Amino acid sequence: MASFASTSSPTPFGFFDSDSAFQTEADALVTFVKRKLGDDILSVELTSKQIWACFEESFCEYGAIVNQYQAKSQLANLMGLSTGSLTGGENKFPRQTLEFALRMSEPYISYAGLGGAFNTVSGSIALTQNVQDYDLYTDMKDSSGVPIVSSSLNPTLGKMRIFEVFHYSPQASYRFFDTTSAINYLNNEFSFESFTPETVFYVLPVFEDILRGGQMALSNKVRRSNYSYRISGTKIRIFPAPATTNPRALFLRVGFENDPNTPAFNDPSIYGVNGIQNVPFGNLTYAKINSIGRQWTRQYALSASKELLGLVRSKFSSVPIPGGELTLNGGDLVSSGREEKDKLRAELKELLDTMTYDKLLETHATKLDNLQKVLRAIPIPMGRCITIG
């Protein structure tokens, strides 16, 4: 019998043909399969290439299942990475990152005005004396006098979102953060900082200034006719009505509907890993598989060979012989082989279910809890014991 290494195209796909460990195992597997299927008593109608094909299928199946569970554990850390040739990520233990969580939080960050993936723009409305109502889509313009909603910043002419309206009384800010206020210096000289409405930068903690400033701003809003606004549809109404002859402009920060695939900056991660279908996990290397994986592969190859032998024998339900006929057991072999393959897959998945990173953390936490319970009861000299918690 020709060896695996000396045979031309020994397996259908040739994924592992150059792996020396796979080559050595393949030759031994032929003997293993044939003897397990009774070749010493009755000839097994399988060629070496057919058994090697089952061996290749077996290791591919093992690698696919293992990679699925690795993807479950690592997908959040791999999202956005270059897919490359769809290999190179297997058999690695990557560091944990917060990139996925940060990407999910970008829309909220954008609304808060603290960043995000899309630009926001500012525009202003020229206020008129004694006029409270304005149209955001026609009256709000950029520095060139072009309505924001119809400018080049809104190519789709879509809905405009209002993020911030700069319409408020600056009184609280002036009173609490004006470092040039003469009262601040008098307070410091005469040591009555704690009894003044002004900012105290020398004794009181900063959080008190912040709380007092917020309290004053809320008091002005509730108890006085303070600066406020109301937006309904495309209209905005401001309070109080502008009283001066040439009131200041009202500035707003707005955004538009964005294409999620076209952020404001060049982002190669958009074309990177976006799901299990393009995680860069290639075929495993047989030489790096331990005895657990190799034994599973042998058993699966045996079951696949048994199924294949059953299919071969099912082509003829019986074979005529002198004085009668020989009934073949093709159907039984097919059923048995498929059942064994399903059982092996189920057992491997059940094992891997307990070994995802999430499950390992749960197991570790349980061990720590149990260890604390044990340590509480361990006696030490002088009649004392170790206590934790």
DSSP 245: S
How many Å apart are CA 246 and CA 335, to the nearest integer?
90
Which residues does residue 250 pair with via DSSP β-bridges, in sequence order?
Answer: 125
Which tokens belong to 160? 């405009």
Nearest CA-CA partner of 125 in 116, 115, 114, 138: 138
User: Cβ–Cβ contacts within 10 Å for residue 257, how many?
Assistant: 12
Note the pLDDT of residue 37: 93
Sites in the chain below the pLDDT cut of 50: 174, 179, 193-196, 199-200
Note the pLDDT of residue 42: 82
Which tokens belong to 153? 């910043």
- Are 58 and 297 in contact, with CB atoms under 8 Å apart? yes
Note the pLDDT of residue 14: 95
User: Cβ–Cβ contacts within 10 Å for residue 185, how many?
Assistant: 11
Residues in contact with 335: Cβ distance below 8 Å, sequence separation at least 6, in sequence order? 310
Note the pLDDT of residue 382: 61
252: amino acid identity, one letter: L
User: Cβ–Cβ contacts within 10 Å for residue 345, how many?
Assistant: 15
Q: pTM of whole model > 0.75?
A: no
Residues in contact with 379: Cβ distance below 8 Å, sequence separation at least 6, in sequence order? 385
How many Å apart are CA 66 and CA 113, to the nearest integer?
43
123: amino acid identity, one letter: G
